Structure 1
Amino acid sequence: MNAVTFPGRPHRRREAPDPEPSQRVALVSGGNRGLGFEVSRQLAQLGMTVLLGARRPLAGEKAARQLRREGGAVIPVKLDVTLTRDIEELVARIDADYGRLDILVNNAGAYFDIDSQASSVDLGIVRQALETNLLGAWQLTEAMLPLMQRHGYGRIVNVSSGCGAMDSEGTGCPAYRVSKAALNSHTRLLAGELAGTGILVNAVCPGWVATDMGGHGGRPVADGAAGIVWAATLPSRPAVNGGFFRDRQRIDW
Protein backbone atom coordinates (compact mmCIF):
# COMPACT_ATOMS: atom_id res chain seq x y z
CA MET A 1 0.00 0.00 0.00
CA ASN A 2 1.53 3.32 -1.06
CA ALA A 3 1.44 6.53 0.90
CA VAL A 4 -1.51 8.83 0.26
CA THR A 5 -1.08 12.44 -0.72
CA PHE A 6 -3.66 14.78 0.75
CA PRO A 7 -4.20 18.50 1.35
CA GLY A 8 -1.65 20.05 3.70
CA ARG A 9 -2.70 20.02 7.34
CA PRO A 10 -3.27 23.40 8.97
CA HIS A 11 -2.03 24.28 12.42
CA ARG A 12 -4.12 22.92 15.28
CA ARG A 13 -7.17 25.09 15.72
CA ARG A 14 -9.76 25.41 18.40
CA GLU A 15 -12.79 23.21 18.11
CA ALA A 16 -15.80 24.69 16.36
CA PRO A 17 -19.46 24.58 17.43
CA ASP A 18 -21.28 21.44 16.39
CA PRO A 19 -22.79 21.98 12.93
CA GLU A 20 -26.45 21.26 12.34
CA PRO A 21 -27.12 17.75 10.98
CA SER A 22 -28.22 19.19 7.63
CA GLN A 23 -24.79 20.82 7.28
CA ARG A 24 -22.80 17.66 7.95
CA VAL A 25 -21.16 15.48 5.34
CA ALA A 26 -20.53 11.84 6.25
CA LEU A 27 -18.49 9.15 4.52
CA VAL A 28 -19.21 5.47 5.17
CA SER A 29 -16.80 2.89 3.75
CA GLY A 30 -18.30 -0.44 2.76
CA GLY A 31 -21.66 1.27 2.63
CA ASN A 32 -23.48 -0.74 -0.02
CA ARG A 33 -24.60 -3.61 2.21
CA GLY A 34 -24.96 -4.88 5.77
CA LEU A 35 -23.92 -2.58 8.58
CA GLY A 36 -22.56 0.10 6.26
CA PHE A 37 -25.83 0.31 4.38
CA GLU A 38 -27.84 0.63 7.57
CA VAL A 39 -25.45 3.22 9.02
CA SER A 40 -25.80 5.21 5.80
CA ARG A 41 -29.58 4.97 6.08
CA GLN A 42 -29.66 6.16 9.69
CA LEU A 43 -27.28 9.06 9.07
CA ALA A 44 -29.33 10.13 6.04
CA GLN A 45 -32.50 9.99 8.13
CA LEU A 46 -30.90 12.56 10.42
CA GLY A 47 -30.68 14.93 7.45
CA MET A 48 -27.01 14.54 6.60
CA THR A 49 -25.40 14.25 3.20
CA VAL A 50 -24.03 10.71 3.10
CA LEU A 51 -21.27 9.56 0.78
CA LEU A 52 -21.79 5.83 0.42
CA GLY A 53 -18.46 4.18 -0.32
CA ALA A 54 -18.42 0.96 -2.33
CA ARG A 55 -15.72 -0.97 -4.15
CA ARG A 56 -18.03 -1.69 -7.08
CA PRO A 57 -19.71 1.41 -8.52
CA LEU A 58 -22.82 -0.44 -9.69
CA ALA A 59 -23.41 -1.89 -6.22
CA GLY A 60 -22.90 1.53 -4.69
CA GLU A 61 -25.34 3.19 -7.07
CA LYS A 62 -27.98 0.53 -6.44
CA ALA A 63 -27.69 0.97 -2.66
CA ALA A 64 -27.70 4.77 -2.86
CA ARG A 65 -30.70 4.76 -5.17
CA GLN A 66 -32.67 2.70 -2.66
CA LEU A 67 -31.84 5.12 0.16
CA ARG A 68 -32.67 8.13 -1.99
CA ARG A 69 -36.11 6.62 -2.58
CA GLU A 70 -36.50 6.74 1.20
CA GLY A 71 -35.77 10.45 1.12
CA GLY A 72 -32.07 10.49 2.01
CA ALA A 73 -29.35 12.62 0.45
CA VAL A 74 -27.07 9.69 -0.39
CA ILE A 75 -24.35 9.83 -3.04
CA PRO A 76 -22.42 6.74 -4.12
CA VAL A 77 -18.63 7.07 -4.31
CA LYS A 78 -16.11 4.54 -5.54
CA LEU A 79 -13.94 3.47 -2.63
CA ASP A 80 -11.71 0.49 -2.15
CA VAL A 81 -9.84 1.33 1.06
CA THR A 82 -6.84 -0.72 -0.07
CA LEU A 83 -6.38 1.37 -3.23
CA THR A 84 -4.45 4.59 -2.77
CA ARG A 85 -5.79 5.98 -6.04
CA ASP A 86 -9.41 5.60 -4.94
CA ILE A 87 -8.68 7.50 -1.74
CA GLU A 88 -6.76 10.29 -3.42
CA GLU A 89 -9.50 10.80 -5.98
CA LEU A 90 -12.18 10.79 -3.30
CA VAL A 91 -10.34 13.34 -1.14
CA ALA A 92 -10.11 15.66 -4.13
CA ARG A 93 -13.80 15.17 -4.95
CA ILE A 94 -14.98 15.86 -1.40
CA ASP A 95 -12.73 18.90 -1.17
CA ALA A 96 -14.06 20.29 -4.45
CA ASP A 97 -17.75 19.49 -3.88
CA TYR A 98 -18.13 20.15 -0.15
CA GLY A 99 -14.91 21.60 1.25
CA ARG A 100 -15.39 19.58 4.43
CA LEU A 101 -15.95 16.15 5.90
CA ASP A 102 -17.64 15.90 9.28
CA ILE A 103 -18.03 12.17 9.84
CA LEU A 104 -15.94 9.19 8.78
CA VAL A 105 -17.19 5.69 9.51
CA ASN A 106 -14.47 3.13 8.85
CA ASN A 107 -16.82 0.24 8.29
CA ALA A 108 -15.17 -1.67 5.43
CA GLY A 109 -13.98 -4.99 6.79
CA ALA A 110 -13.35 -8.55 5.68
CA TYR A 111 -11.65 -11.88 6.34
CA PHE A 112 -13.74 -13.27 9.17
CA ASP A 113 -11.68 -16.48 9.17
CA ILE A 114 -13.80 -18.38 11.67
CA ASP A 115 -12.35 -21.81 10.90
CA SER A 116 -8.68 -20.79 11.12
CA GLN A 117 -6.29 -21.25 14.04
CA ALA A 118 -3.31 -19.07 14.96
CA SER A 119 -0.92 -22.01 14.68
CA SER A 120 -1.85 -22.87 11.12
CA VAL A 121 -3.57 -19.87 9.52
CA ASP A 122 -2.66 -18.91 5.97
CA LEU A 123 -0.46 -15.85 6.47
CA GLY A 124 -1.67 -14.54 3.15
CA ILE A 125 -5.12 -14.19 4.72
CA VAL A 126 -3.59 -12.43 7.73
CA ARG A 127 -1.86 -9.92 5.46
CA GLN A 128 -5.05 -9.28 3.54
CA ALA A 129 -7.03 -8.81 6.76
CA LEU A 130 -4.50 -6.29 8.01
CA GLU A 131 -4.51 -4.53 4.63
CA THR A 132 -8.28 -3.99 4.75
CA ASN A 133 -9.25 -3.87 8.41
CA LEU A 134 -6.27 -1.91 9.72
CA LEU A 135 -4.24 -0.24 6.99
CA GLY A 136 -7.26 0.61 4.84
CA ALA A 137 -8.95 2.42 7.71
CA TRP A 138 -5.65 4.03 8.70
CA GLN A 139 -4.86 5.40 5.27
CA LEU A 140 -8.42 6.59 4.67
CA THR A 141 -8.48 8.40 8.01
CA GLU A 142 -5.13 10.05 7.45
CA ALA A 143 -6.25 11.29 4.05
CA MET A 144 -9.57 12.69 5.29
CA LEU A 145 -8.30 14.36 8.47
CA PRO A 146 -7.37 17.69 6.86
CA LEU A 147 -10.98 18.13 5.73
CA MET A 148 -12.03 17.87 9.39
CA GLN A 149 -9.17 19.93 10.80
CA ARG A 150 -10.06 22.77 8.46
CA HIS A 151 -13.27 23.40 10.41
CA GLY A 152 -12.24 22.11 13.83
CA TYR A 153 -14.91 19.42 13.87
CA GLY A 154 -14.98 15.72 13.12
CA ARG A 155 -16.19 12.33 14.26
CA ILE A 156 -14.19 9.23 13.33
CA VAL A 157 -15.73 5.84 14.12
CA ASN A 158 -13.72 2.67 13.66
CA VAL A 159 -16.05 -0.30 13.41
CA SER A 160 -14.28 -2.93 15.48
CA SER A 161 -15.26 -6.15 17.21
CA GLY A 162 -15.34 -7.52 20.71
CA CYS A 163 -13.29 -10.45 19.50
CA GLY A 164 -10.45 -7.97 18.99
CA ALA A 165 -10.39 -7.19 22.71
CA MET A 166 -7.24 -8.44 24.44
CA ASP A 167 -9.16 -10.57 26.94
CA SER A 168 -11.65 -12.02 24.47
CA GLU A 169 -12.18 -15.75 24.59
CA GLY A 170 -11.93 -18.19 21.71
CA THR A 171 -9.25 -19.25 19.29
CA GLY A 172 -10.95 -18.86 15.91
CA CYS A 173 -10.72 -15.94 13.51
CA PRO A 174 -7.03 -15.19 14.19
CA ALA A 175 -6.55 -12.89 11.18
CA TYR A 176 -9.73 -10.97 11.93
CA ARG A 177 -9.01 -10.78 15.68
CA VAL A 178 -5.49 -9.47 15.28
CA SER A 179 -6.51 -6.92 12.65
CA LYS A 180 -9.28 -5.56 14.89
CA ALA A 181 -7.02 -5.50 17.95
CA ALA A 182 -4.55 -3.44 15.92
CA LEU A 183 -7.38 -1.14 14.78
CA ASN A 184 -8.29 -0.62 18.44
CA SER A 185 -4.71 0.38 19.20
CA HIS A 186 -4.72 2.85 16.33
CA THR A 187 -8.00 4.30 17.63
CA ARG A 188 -6.44 5.05 20.99
CA LEU A 189 -3.30 6.57 19.50
CA LEU A 190 -5.21 8.85 17.15
CA ALA A 191 -7.71 9.89 19.80
CA GLY A 192 -4.90 10.96 22.10
CA GLU A 193 -3.20 12.92 19.34
CA LEU A 194 -6.39 14.75 18.35
CA ALA A 195 -7.71 15.45 21.85
CA GLY A 196 -8.89 19.04 22.15
CA THR A 197 -9.13 19.66 18.40
CA GLY A 198 -12.88 19.08 18.07
CA ILE A 199 -12.27 15.71 16.38
CA LEU A 200 -13.44 12.70 18.39
CA VAL A 201 -12.16 9.20 17.61
CA ASN A 202 -13.83 6.08 18.97
CA ALA A 203 -14.17 2.38 18.23
CA VAL A 204 -17.52 0.60 18.24
CA CYS A 205 -18.36 -3.08 18.40
CA PRO A 206 -21.79 -3.55 16.80
CA GLY A 207 -22.18 -7.00 18.34
CA TRP A 208 -23.01 -10.09 16.37
CA VAL A 209 -25.36 -8.89 13.66
CA ALA A 210 -27.15 -10.77 10.93
CA THR A 211 -25.12 -9.74 7.88
CA ASP A 212 -23.42 -11.59 5.04
CA MET A 213 -20.22 -11.73 7.10
CA GLY A 214 -21.83 -12.34 10.49
CA GLY A 215 -24.23 -14.97 9.23
CA HIS A 216 -27.76 -15.83 10.31
CA GLY A 217 -28.89 -15.73 13.91
CA GLY A 218 -27.40 -12.42 14.92
CA ARG A 219 -29.17 -9.33 16.22
CA PRO A 220 -30.99 -7.00 13.79
CA VAL A 221 -28.62 -4.92 11.69
CA ALA A 222 -30.41 -1.74 12.74
CA ASP A 223 -29.51 -2.38 16.37
CA GLY A 224 -25.83 -2.84 15.61
CA ALA A 225 -25.79 0.24 13.38
CA ALA A 226 -27.42 2.42 16.04
CA GLY A 227 -24.33 2.30 18.25
CA ILE A 228 -22.14 3.36 15.34
CA VAL A 229 -24.44 6.27 14.50
CA TRP A 230 -24.41 7.30 18.15
CA ALA A 231 -20.61 7.55 18.09
CA ALA A 232 -20.74 9.38 14.76
CA THR A 233 -23.03 12.06 16.20
CA LEU A 234 -21.56 12.60 19.66
CA PRO A 235 -21.83 16.16 20.97
CA SER A 236 -18.66 18.10 21.66
CA ARG A 237 -19.56 18.40 25.34
CA PRO A 238 -18.90 16.23 27.17
CA ALA A 239 -16.09 15.07 24.87
CA VAL A 240 -16.30 11.28 24.54
CA ASN A 241 -12.99 10.40 22.96
CA GLY A 242 -10.74 7.38 22.70
CA GLY A 243 -13.25 4.81 23.90
CA PHE A 244 -14.42 1.35 22.87
CA PHE A 245 -18.21 0.94 22.95
CA ARG A 246 -21.03 -1.48 22.39
CA ASP A 247 -24.62 -0.19 22.55
CA ARG A 248 -23.33 3.16 23.88
CA GLN A 249 -21.64 1.46 26.83
CA ARG A 250 -17.87 1.32 27.31
CA ILE A 251 -16.28 -2.10 27.00
CA ASP A 252 -12.75 -3.24 27.74
CA TRP A 253 -10.03 -2.99 25.14
Structure 2
Amino acid sequence: MSTALHGRVALVAGATRGAGRGIAVELGAAGATVYCTGRTTAEHRSDYDRPETIEETAELVSRAGGTGIAVRVDHLVPGEVRELVERIDAERGRLDVLVNDIGGEHLMYWHKPVWEQPLDKGLLRLRLGIDTHMITSHFALPLMIRRPGGLVVELTDGTAEVAERFYRGAEGAFYDLAKSAAHRFARAQAEELAPHGGTAVSLTPGWLRSEMMLDHFGVTEQNWRDAIETVPHFAISETPRYVGRAVAALAADPEVARWNGKSLSSGELAKVYGFTDLDGSRPDAWPYITEVEWAGRPADVTGYR
Protein backbone atom coordinates (compact mmCIF):
# COMPACT_ATOMS: atom_id res chain seq x y z
CA MET A 1 0.00 0.00 0.00
CA SER A 2 1.09 3.54 -0.78
CA THR A 3 0.36 6.85 0.92
CA ALA A 4 0.98 8.92 -2.22
CA LEU A 5 -2.65 10.12 -2.23
CA HIS A 6 -3.23 10.29 1.53
CA GLY A 7 -5.50 13.23 2.26
CA ARG A 8 -6.74 13.45 -1.32
CA VAL A 9 -10.41 13.08 -2.20
CA ALA A 10 -11.64 11.42 -5.37
CA LEU A 11 -15.01 10.96 -7.00
CA VAL A 12 -15.33 8.00 -9.35
CA ALA A 13 -18.61 8.39 -11.21
CA GLY A 14 -19.51 4.92 -12.40
CA ALA A 15 -17.54 2.87 -9.87
CA THR A 16 -19.85 -0.13 -9.67
CA ARG A 17 -17.83 -2.41 -11.92
CA GLY A 18 -15.25 -2.57 -14.69
CA ALA A 19 -12.75 0.23 -15.13
CA GLY A 20 -14.52 2.42 -12.59
CA ARG A 21 -14.12 -0.19 -9.88
CA GLY A 22 -10.48 -0.82 -10.81
CA ILE A 23 -9.73 2.90 -10.68
CA ALA A 24 -11.48 3.37 -7.34
CA VAL A 25 -9.55 0.49 -5.78
CA GLU A 26 -6.17 1.71 -7.02
CA LEU A 27 -6.87 5.25 -5.79
CA GLY A 28 -7.68 3.66 -2.44
CA ALA A 29 -4.48 1.63 -2.55
CA ALA A 30 -2.62 4.94 -2.82
CA GLY A 31 -4.40 6.23 0.29
CA ALA A 32 -7.21 8.34 -1.17
CA THR A 33 -10.73 8.80 0.08
CA VAL A 34 -12.93 7.66 -2.81
CA TYR A 35 -16.61 8.41 -3.30
CA CYS A 36 -17.89 5.48 -5.35
CA THR A 37 -21.10 6.26 -7.22
CA GLY A 38 -23.44 4.25 -9.38
CA ARG A 39 -27.01 3.02 -9.49
CA THR A 40 -26.67 -0.58 -8.32
CA THR A 41 -26.74 -1.08 -4.57
CA ALA A 42 -27.29 -4.04 -2.30
CA GLU A 43 -31.00 -3.18 -2.31
CA HIS A 44 -31.50 -2.02 -5.89
CA ARG A 45 -30.23 -3.19 -9.28
CA SER A 46 -30.02 -0.80 -12.20
CA ASP A 47 -31.13 -1.66 -15.74
CA TYR A 48 -27.74 -3.30 -16.25
CA ASP A 49 -29.18 -6.10 -14.10
CA ARG A 50 -25.71 -7.02 -12.90
CA PRO A 51 -24.81 -8.26 -9.38
CA GLU A 52 -21.92 -5.87 -8.67
CA THR A 53 -22.72 -3.06 -6.20
CA ILE A 54 -21.19 0.25 -5.18
CA GLU A 55 -20.99 -1.00 -1.60
CA GLU A 56 -18.72 -3.83 -2.75
CA THR A 57 -16.52 -1.32 -4.54
CA ALA A 58 -16.30 0.92 -1.48
CA GLU A 59 -15.35 -2.08 0.65
CA LEU A 60 -12.59 -3.00 -1.80
CA VAL A 61 -11.30 0.58 -1.66
CA SER A 62 -11.11 0.46 2.13
CA ARG A 63 -9.55 -2.98 2.10
CA ALA A 64 -6.87 -1.67 -0.26
CA GLY A 65 -5.90 1.03 2.23
CA GLY A 66 -8.10 3.99 1.38
CA THR A 67 -11.51 5.13 2.54
CA GLY A 68 -14.36 3.98 0.33
CA ILE A 69 -17.72 5.73 0.48
CA ALA A 70 -20.64 4.37 -1.56
CA VAL A 71 -23.30 6.83 -2.71
CA ARG A 72 -26.16 5.85 -5.00
CA VAL A 73 -26.41 8.51 -7.70
CA ASP A 74 -28.10 8.65 -11.09
CA HIS A 75 -25.76 10.99 -12.94
CA LEU A 76 -28.48 11.83 -15.45
CA VAL A 77 -30.36 13.60 -12.65
CA PRO A 78 -28.75 16.99 -11.96
CA GLY A 79 -30.28 17.31 -8.51
CA GLU A 80 -28.74 14.02 -7.36
CA VAL A 81 -25.31 15.07 -8.63
CA ARG A 82 -25.62 18.46 -6.93
CA GLU A 83 -26.47 16.76 -3.63
CA LEU A 84 -23.50 14.42 -4.04
CA VAL A 85 -21.05 17.30 -4.51
CA GLU A 86 -22.60 19.21 -1.61
CA ARG A 87 -22.06 16.13 0.55
CA ILE A 88 -18.42 15.82 -0.51
CA ASP A 89 -17.93 19.50 0.28
CA ALA A 90 -19.58 19.18 3.69
CA GLU A 91 -17.68 16.01 4.64
CA ARG A 92 -14.25 16.70 3.10
CA GLY A 93 -14.18 20.30 1.90
CA ARG A 94 -12.23 19.42 -1.22
CA LEU A 95 -12.17 17.38 -4.41
CA ASP A 96 -8.86 16.45 -5.99
CA VAL A 97 -9.73 13.82 -8.60
CA LEU A 98 -12.83 13.39 -10.74
CA VAL A 99 -13.20 10.30 -12.90
CA ASN A 100 -16.10 10.28 -15.35
CA ASP A 101 -16.65 6.63 -16.24
CA ILE A 102 -20.33 6.30 -17.04
CA GLY A 103 -21.11 4.71 -20.36
CA GLY A 104 -24.04 2.36 -20.90
CA GLU A 105 -22.22 -0.66 -22.29
CA HIS A 106 -25.37 -2.74 -21.76
CA LEU A 107 -26.95 -0.86 -24.69
CA MET A 108 -24.70 -2.42 -27.33
CA TYR A 109 -26.06 -3.60 -30.67
CA TRP A 110 -23.24 -5.25 -32.54
CA HIS A 111 -22.76 -4.95 -36.31
CA LYS A 112 -25.94 -2.94 -36.92
CA PRO A 113 -26.06 0.32 -38.89
CA VAL A 114 -27.63 3.35 -37.26
CA TRP A 115 -31.00 2.81 -38.96
CA GLU A 116 -31.28 -0.72 -37.55
CA GLN A 117 -30.45 0.17 -33.96
CA PRO A 118 -33.30 1.06 -31.57
CA LEU A 119 -33.40 4.84 -31.61
CA ASP A 120 -34.54 5.25 -28.02
CA LYS A 121 -31.72 3.08 -26.72
CA GLY A 122 -29.17 4.71 -29.01
CA LEU A 123 -30.11 8.16 -27.75
CA LEU A 124 -29.96 6.89 -24.17
CA ARG A 125 -26.48 5.57 -24.98
CA LEU A 126 -25.46 9.10 -25.94
CA ARG A 127 -27.00 10.56 -22.80
CA LEU A 128 -25.20 8.07 -20.59
CA GLY A 129 -21.90 8.57 -22.38
CA ILE A 130 -22.01 12.35 -22.79
CA ASP A 131 -24.69 14.05 -20.68
CA THR A 132 -23.70 12.29 -17.45
CA HIS A 133 -20.10 13.43 -17.83
CA MET A 134 -21.09 17.02 -18.46
CA ILE A 135 -23.61 17.11 -15.62
CA THR A 136 -21.07 15.69 -13.18
CA SER A 137 -18.30 18.08 -14.19
CA HIS A 138 -20.71 21.02 -14.08
CA PHE A 139 -21.32 20.46 -10.38
CA ALA A 140 -17.97 18.98 -9.34
CA LEU A 141 -15.48 21.38 -10.89
CA PRO A 142 -16.38 24.44 -8.77
CA LEU A 143 -15.33 22.40 -5.74
CA MET A 144 -12.18 21.11 -7.44
CA ILE A 145 -10.87 24.53 -8.51
CA ARG A 146 -10.82 25.86 -4.96
CA ARG A 147 -7.26 24.58 -4.84
CA PRO A 148 -4.78 24.01 -7.69
CA GLY A 149 -3.67 20.57 -8.78
CA GLY A 150 -7.03 18.94 -9.48
CA LEU A 151 -7.30 16.16 -12.06
CA VAL A 152 -10.23 15.19 -14.30
CA VAL A 153 -10.11 11.87 -16.15
CA GLU A 154 -12.56 11.19 -18.95
CA LEU A 155 -12.70 7.42 -19.49
CA THR A 156 -13.25 6.30 -23.06
CA ASP A 157 -12.49 3.41 -25.41
CA GLY A 158 -9.62 4.04 -27.78
CA THR A 159 -7.22 6.92 -28.09
CA ALA A 160 -7.99 10.12 -29.98
CA GLU A 161 -5.74 8.85 -32.77
CA VAL A 162 -7.79 5.66 -33.01
CA ALA A 163 -11.01 7.70 -33.07
CA GLU A 164 -9.61 9.80 -35.91
CA ARG A 165 -8.37 6.88 -37.99
CA PHE A 166 -11.05 4.25 -37.44
CA TYR A 167 -14.84 4.03 -37.29
CA ARG A 168 -15.96 1.61 -34.59
CA GLY A 169 -18.43 -0.05 -36.93
CA ALA A 170 -18.73 -3.26 -34.92
CA GLU A 171 -20.11 -1.30 -31.97
CA GLY A 172 -22.07 1.16 -34.08
CA ALA A 173 -22.54 4.90 -34.54
CA PHE A 174 -23.99 5.70 -31.11
CA TYR A 175 -21.08 3.99 -29.37
CA ASP A 176 -18.51 5.57 -31.67
CA LEU A 177 -19.91 9.07 -31.10
CA ALA A 178 -20.11 8.72 -27.32
CA LYS A 179 -16.54 7.47 -27.01
CA SER A 180 -15.17 10.09 -29.40
CA ALA A 181 -16.93 12.87 -27.47
CA ALA A 182 -14.87 12.07 -24.37
CA HIS A 183 -11.74 13.33 -26.10
CA ARG A 184 -13.31 16.66 -26.99
CA PHE A 185 -14.81 17.11 -23.53
CA ALA A 186 -11.45 16.39 -21.92
CA ARG A 187 -9.87 18.96 -24.21
CA ALA A 188 -12.54 21.53 -23.30
CA GLN A 189 -12.06 20.97 -19.58
CA ALA A 190 -8.29 21.13 -20.03
CA GLU A 191 -8.59 24.62 -21.49
CA GLU A 192 -10.99 25.78 -18.79
CA LEU A 193 -9.12 24.25 -15.85
CA ALA A 194 -5.63 25.38 -16.83
CA PRO A 195 -6.02 28.92 -15.42
CA HIS A 196 -7.02 27.33 -12.12
CA GLY A 197 -4.06 24.94 -11.99
CA GLY A 198 -6.14 21.92 -13.00
CA THR A 199 -5.57 19.14 -15.52
CA ALA A 200 -7.97 17.15 -17.66
CA VAL A 201 -7.19 14.14 -19.85
CA SER A 202 -9.00 11.43 -21.74
CA LEU A 203 -7.86 7.92 -20.86
CA THR A 204 -8.53 4.54 -22.39
CA PRO A 205 -7.84 1.07 -21.07
CA GLY A 206 -7.01 -1.65 -23.54
CA TRP A 207 -9.11 -4.77 -24.01
CA LEU A 208 -10.60 -4.82 -20.55
CA ARG A 209 -11.22 -8.01 -18.62
CA SER A 210 -14.25 -6.53 -16.92
CA GLU A 211 -16.82 -8.63 -15.13
CA MET A 212 -19.10 -8.36 -18.16
CA MET A 213 -16.38 -9.35 -20.60
CA LEU A 214 -15.32 -12.35 -18.54
CA ASP A 215 -18.94 -13.48 -18.32
CA HIS A 216 -19.35 -13.01 -22.07
CA PHE A 217 -16.48 -15.43 -22.71
CA GLY A 218 -17.55 -17.81 -19.94
CA VAL A 219 -14.31 -17.47 -17.96
CA THR A 220 -13.09 -15.94 -14.72
CA GLU A 221 -10.05 -13.87 -13.91
CA GLN A 222 -8.37 -17.05 -12.70
CA ASN A 223 -8.79 -18.95 -15.99
CA TRP A 224 -9.21 -16.07 -18.48
CA ARG A 225 -6.54 -17.50 -20.78
CA ASP A 226 -8.93 -20.32 -21.67
CA ALA A 227 -10.81 -17.78 -23.81
CA ILE A 228 -7.75 -17.33 -26.02
CA GLU A 229 -8.49 -20.68 -27.63
CA THR A 230 -11.58 -19.22 -29.31
CA VAL A 231 -10.62 -15.50 -29.30
CA PRO A 232 -6.82 -15.47 -29.83
CA HIS A 233 -6.44 -11.67 -29.67
CA PHE A 234 -7.84 -11.74 -26.12
CA ALA A 235 -4.23 -12.50 -25.15
CA ILE A 236 -3.58 -8.73 -25.06
CA SER A 237 -6.33 -8.10 -22.49
CA GLU A 238 -5.77 -6.40 -19.14
CA THR A 239 -7.46 -6.19 -15.75
CA PRO A 240 -9.42 -3.09 -14.66
CA ARG A 241 -6.74 -2.48 -12.06
CA TYR A 242 -4.22 -1.66 -14.81
CA VAL A 243 -6.06 1.47 -15.88
CA GLY A 244 -6.64 2.11 -12.18
CA ARG A 245 -2.91 2.23 -11.66
CA ALA A 246 -2.67 4.67 -14.56
CA VAL A 247 -5.11 7.04 -12.85
CA ALA A 248 -3.36 6.70 -9.48
CA ALA A 249 -0.02 7.48 -11.12
CA LEU A 250 -1.44 10.58 -12.79
CA ALA A 251 -3.04 11.75 -9.55
CA ALA A 252 0.22 11.37 -7.63
CA ASP A 253 2.38 13.08 -10.28
CA PRO A 254 3.35 16.62 -9.17
CA GLU A 255 3.94 17.42 -12.85
CA VAL A 256 0.63 16.02 -14.09
CA ALA A 257 -0.10 19.29 -15.92
CA ARG A 258 2.29 18.12 -18.67
CA TRP A 259 -0.53 15.82 -19.80
CA ASN A 260 -3.23 18.51 -19.87
CA GLY A 261 -5.60 17.99 -22.79
CA LYS A 262 -3.87 14.80 -23.92
CA SER A 263 -5.38 11.50 -24.98
CA LEU A 264 -3.69 8.71 -23.01
CA SER A 265 -3.81 4.93 -22.65
CA SER A 266 -3.03 2.58 -19.79
CA GLY A 267 -0.27 0.90 -21.81
CA GLU A 268 1.38 4.22 -22.67
CA LEU A 269 1.35 5.44 -19.07
CA ALA A 270 2.69 2.12 -17.78
CA LYS A 271 5.87 2.77 -19.74
CA VAL A 272 6.19 6.28 -18.34
CA TYR A 273 5.38 5.55 -14.70
CA GLY A 274 6.69 1.99 -14.49
CA PHE A 275 3.61 0.22 -13.13
CA THR A 276 2.42 -3.20 -14.30
CA ASP A 277 -0.80 -5.15 -14.41
CA LEU A 278 -1.59 -7.53 -11.56
CA ASP A 279 0.33 -10.38 -13.21
CA GLY A 280 3.48 -8.27 -13.63
CA SER A 281 3.01 -7.80 -17.37
CA ARG A 282 2.78 -4.47 -19.17
CA PRO A 283 0.29 -4.85 -22.06
CA ASP A 284 0.16 -2.06 -24.65
CA ALA A 285 -3.16 -2.91 -26.21
CA TRP A 286 -3.95 -0.15 -28.67
CA PRO A 287 -0.87 -0.49 -30.86
CA TYR A 288 -1.57 -4.23 -30.86
CA ILE A 289 -5.26 -3.80 -31.72
CA THR A 290 -4.57 -1.47 -34.65
CA GLU A 291 -1.35 -3.05 -35.94
CA VAL A 292 -2.21 -6.73 -35.42
CA GLU A 293 -5.89 -7.45 -34.74
CA TRP A 294 -7.54 -4.87 -37.01
CA ALA A 295 -4.81 -5.37 -39.62
CA GLY A 296 -5.87 -9.00 -39.93
CA ARG A 297 -2.58 -10.45 -38.72
CA PRO A 298 -2.33 -13.64 -36.64
CA ALA A 299 -2.52 -13.17 -32.89
CA ASP A 300 0.93 -12.67 -31.40
CA VAL A 301 1.45 -10.37 -28.41
CA THR A 302 5.26 -10.50 -28.66
CA GLY A 303 6.54 -6.97 -28.23
CA TYR A 304 3.14 -5.72 -27.05
CA ARG A 305 2.97 -7.33 -23.61
TM-score range, shorter chain: 0.7 to 0.9
| Residues 175-220 of structure 1, C-alpha deviations (whole Å, 9 max, x = no match) | 1111111221111122122224211000001011111444544322
Residues in 1 aligned to 2:157 and 2:116: alpha-carbon distance in whole angstroms: 22
Worse-matched range after superposition: 111-120 or 173-182: 111-120
Candidates 76, 97, 108, aligned match of 1:103: 97
User: 1:240 offset after TM fit, Å?
Assistant: 1.6
CA-atom RMSD, angstroms?
A: 2.5
List gaps (5 residues or longer) in structure 2: 43-52, 218-233, 270-285, 288-305
Which position in structure 2 is the counterpart of 1:27?
Answer: 11
What residue is the counterpart of 1:166 in the other structure? Answer: 164
Q: Percent identity?
A: 28
Q: Tell me if 1:64 matches 2:62.
A: no
Query: 2:255 pairs with 225, 236, 239, which one?
Result: 236
Which of 13, 36, 39 matches 1:55?
39
CA distance in 1 between partners of 2:119 and 2:253 (Å): 38
The 3-state SS of whatever aligns with 2:165 is coil
Q: Would the aligned equivalents of 2:198 and 2:257 in 1 still touch at CA under 8 Å?
A: no
TM-score, length-scaled by structure 1: 0.83
CA contact (8 A) 2:25 2:244 kept: no
Conservation of the 8 A alpha-carbon contact between 1:155 and 1:234: no
> Considering only CA atoms, is the larger Rg found in Structure 1 or Structure 2?
2
Q: CA deviation at 1:243?
A: 0.6
Identify the residue that residue 247 of structure 1 maps to in structure 2.
266
Deviations along 1:18-63, one digit per CA (max 9) or x if unpaired, are xx62121001111122211111111001011111112133222233
- SS in structure 1 of the partner of residue 244 of structure 2: helix
Instruction: Give the unaligned 5+ runs of structure 1.
Output: 1-19
State which drifts further: 218-227 or 176-185. 218-227
1:75 counterpart SS class = strand
Alignment length, in residue pairs? 234
Give, as a single letter, the amino acid of the residue that structure 1 aligns with 2:128.
T
SS in 2 for 1:166: helix
Counterpart CA distance in 1 for 2:252 and 2:109 is 32
Aligned to 2:153: 157
Query: Matches of residues 30-41 of structure 1 in structure 2 within 5 Å?
Result: 30-41=14-25
Contact 2:199 2:260 in 1 (8 A): yes
| Partner of residue 226, structure 1 | 245
| Stretch deviating more after TM superposition (169-178 or 42-51) | 169-178
Alignment correspondent of 2:30: 46
Matched, 1:81 2:75: yes
More helix by percentage: 2
Paired residues of 1:61 and 1:76 also in contact (CA < 8 A): yes
- Distance change in 2, residues 1:120/1:183 (3 Å): same
